Amino acid sequence: MGSGNIVHNLQLADFDDPSGAPENIAFSTAVRDSVAQRQDESILSYQKLPYASWAVPTPDHFLPLPTVLGAAQGEKAEIFNDVQNLSSISMTSFAFGLQK
């Protein structure tokens, strides 16, 4: 199990915007698709994904994801939360090991 945020840019948080900014949605979608397809190298090289510097200004909240991917090597990901909010936060969450 790991904890973090796919997108975590508190400097750009907009408490009047309950949805995600276009940059948030683009980066979150790229990450979600890479995890779902188990393109782990794409996650390890997340800086190459669209809007990465906007979405991940510091890696501390993103790094749990590659750690969990390594621990769940070979496991298919299930998305159980796919929420973007405050314009610049993505709470997308993945579960592993649920399929038999």
pLDDT one-digit tens code per residue, 47-100: 999 999 999 999 999 999 999 999 999 899 998 888 899 999 999 999 988 765
Residue 40 has pLDDT above 80, yes or no: yes
Cα 54 to Cα 71: distance, rounded to the nearest angstrom:
27
- Nearest CA among 49, 75, 79 for reference residue 62: 49
Can you give the pLDDT at residue 100? 55
Once rounded to an integer, what is the mean pLDDT over residues 26-44? 96
Work out the pLDDT band at 8, boundaries 50, 70, 90.
Answer: very high
Cα 91 to Cα 44: distance, rounded to the nearest angstrom:
19
Please give the model's pTM, rounded to 2 decimal places: 0.91
